[in-house]
Structure 1
């Protein structure tokens, strides 16, 4: 009996050692230097995790270019309120691509009544027009953020009718403009802020409202009429958004900042300027494009507060510093690189 117990204990010890060795061993790590030597401005990547990330961020296959038919799409199809000036062949090709990007399972019927393709009875068709208009705006107006890489429907949708990473107004948190501290919406691990206990409704104050992200006061003591308050409370909200950006882009703080002086723009990387523009870009889209969709979307697509879904950094980036690892689809679909407007 004693021998049996010893054998069991020994086997358990061996199993435990194997479990620890296979579960908690650190995989190979690569690092990329992004700043001056000695400043610790590097990005570290676990090889296995990066391999999975690369596999999940591949651009879709490009459809073969279409031979122009010599007639506009608007001459062939009825009720075209956007893209009607395209050659019919180019229009058909783009519709096929959009179907594969957004609704590969439902196909054309996701937006169209197959008995009357010109009908606007499905809300998805109206939303699709707004999204096309938005894509054209992003690729022309917000180059300070997207540069020449730009975006397409696939950047966010990745083959799903609704992007995987969206957000709604959190009805359980009352922060208000000015960051009302009670309740503060924190001290609960939240995936929104990478499972930390920082305030977890960081999207409303920064990606919907225009609250100040600066957290270091210019005076030693609070001064009357010194502008927006900057205290530990504001710092926690700011760190919450920074944590979201870091997690959404798969980078650490030194991707944008020199940790010797986080606020000093002269010691920051060019990516900080891009991020500054990105915050304002996302905020504008949430207010001017997505909020108005609440009047169009069915109740099942709205949040608890009756609001439309909105976007954040992860919506496009999905864990990579550049969506789809920087692959641009615009060169293959140049019709999305120009301003588009919905005709009434």
Structure 2
């Protein structure tokens, strides 16, 4: 039996090289390489001719090989604990924008709050040799295990939650001050029976927000009760489902400082389902100022954290670390601002 090889099959097609492009354009290999790297040193006409030939011959740039030759990487890994949260979607957009402006590509991973999944995702991303990693840790993360996984030479920045056991750069929101502002706002409206709703007690960001809430109450001469600290996952669905628990623990509550905006929006759904009108019968605040906060009914009083700007700041801090790996670890706290809207408009009860 005689077999014939097809000259049109993809598997038999010769891989196009930089040399092929250079010969077709009548330029040097170095010129083609400069075009591939986006260098401004190439004349516009030459660049256009090379780019047209690259497209005509369907040249595929082997970025991994180029990184290996140059001992650099053009990618940065971003690992998020909850990509379904609109705050983190905006944060990721800011990271990607800032990295793109510096010629880097974002490798995105999501852990769904699972430390085991986090190790698997990071392990896979590290195989791509990123220039650095931005990590918003899952709850119950093991800092020592993450340090061992990434090693001593991978630049890393932790966002949002403190991660004991590592000496990486850290960027967080001003959680304590923000929650204090929200609580003081409700106190100024005459409320005294104010609960803190949502988040988990072992999360550093939740601990800080609870501390700000507690400090504001004590400054007003009110001793907070542990029963008024009601936990739920920081999601809309769980917040709505656990609205009943709020009134089981804090039966006389007339207001709540919510852990974040998604919790607040979920609580508003839970209140409405019970015939309690948010902003009229019950006052509440959020945290983050996601886009939907201004569009809800009523609109949500919250702490504006500018998630896209935070993403850009995280990327900039990481790139500073990439360029200066010997610098001392940095701890940066991003400010927040109280934005008053309709959800806190209830009269004191």
Fold in common (TM above 0.5): no
Q: Which has the larger radius of gyration?
A: 2
Which of structures 1 and 2 has the larger relative contact order (alpha carbons within 8 angstroms, sep 6+)? 1
Instruction: Provide the TM-score with structure 2 as the length reference.
Output: 0.22
